[in-house]
Amino acid sequence: MTIEEAKFILSAFRPNGSDAGSATFCDALRMAGDDPLVKAWFAQSRAHDEAVAGKLRQVKPPEGLREAILAGVRVSDRRGGKGLGWGWIAGLAAAAALVIGFFSVRAPARPESGATALAGFAITDMVTERHGGTGEPASALVVGLQAKAGKMPSAEQIDFERLRDTGCRTLNFAGHDVLEVCFSREGAEYHFYVTRRDGPLGNSVTKGPTFVAEAAGAAAVWSDTRFDYALATTAGVEALRRLL
């Protein structure tokens, strides 16, 4: 066995030593004991691997994920688990987690059920997820959203398919695509969501903005001829009103 072969095999040796009894590593480990070059390399390699593994162990799942998993399966059990898209189940679970996790505060208007669902989805996503996305169309959309005094985009300004296909962050809500970008304006961060009008909510979202406030954040929901929109922020309803 050459030094390079030994290094190659030892690259698969887990830093916690779980593979010490594996015959595959026997010769390479022996070489690491005998050859000073391999020994030094292996010590450094394990130290590096241990450090990386330790850092990865520090990455915590988002709060509520465990509850969402359990709630999602319970929901699907009750619904028979068939004919439901996963996104809907996840949405219900996330909504359930929100209900459990946050105190609701009085909403400034009594929203319709479709608006509530989309607003809840947006707020949940905003507070529980780390966002990301790519693509020039999405960047252009963000630039427009960030423009001072700019209004929210309308249907003519949104090429839904192009945004989605070029890497704009795409979520699943009740089996339908929802695009999301985040932007900041005047020091507040906002999350803008758009889904097709013929999507999960049908025509249940009214044209004018409906505001929903939760302890975790607020969302405005409105629609036009082609799309349903949601705008969510942790800066409160008044911050939303200023943009609409």
Partner 1 sequence: MNNEAFAALVDAHYAPLYRFALSLARNSSDAGDLVQQTFFIWATKGHGLRELSKAKSWLFTTLYREFLRGRRRDARATSIEDLPPADKELAAEDVDRVSRIDAALVMTALQTVDETFRAPLTLFYLEDMSYQEIAEALDVPIGTVMSRLSRGKSQLRMALERVESAGSKVLPFPDSKGASAS
Residues that bind partner 1 (CB under 8 A): 7-9, 11-12, 14-16, 18-19, 22, 24, 41, 44-45, 47-49, 51-53, 55-56, 58-62, 65-66, 68-70, 72-73, 76-77, 81, 86-87, 89-90, 93, 125, 128-136, 138-139, 141-143, 146, 168-169, 171-172, 180-183, 191
Q: Least distance from C-beta 137 to partner 1, angstroms?
A: 9
What is the smallest separation between the CB atom of 222 and partner 1, expressed in angstroms? 20
Residue 17 C-beta: closest distance to partner 1, Å? 10
Minimum CB separation of residue 102 from partner 1 in Å reads 17
Sort strands 227-233 and 169-173 into parallel, antiparallel or unpaired: unpaired
Nearer residue to partner 1 within complex by CB, 42 or 227: 42
User: Which residues on adjacent β-strands are paired with residue 222?
Assistant: 229
Q: Which is nearer to partner 1, 180 or 228 (CB)?
A: 180
CB of 113 to partner 1, least distance (A): 24
Task: Provide the 8-state DSSP code for 64.
Answer: T
Q: How far apart are CA 119 and CA 219, in angstroms?
A: 5
Residue with smaller CB distance to partner 1, 44 or 157: 44
Q: Is the Cβ of residue 171 or residue 235 nearer to partner 1 in the bound state?
A: 171
Tell me the DSSP string of 163-226. HHHTT-EEEEETTEEEEEEEEEETTEEEEEEEEETTSTTTT-S-SS-EEEEETTEEEEEEE-SS
Which is nearer to partner 1, 165 or 238 (by Cβ)? Answer: 165
Cβ atoms 181, 145 nearer than 8 A = yes
Q: β-pairing, 176-185 with 169-173?
A: antiparallel
Distance of CA 159 to the CA centre of its chain: 22
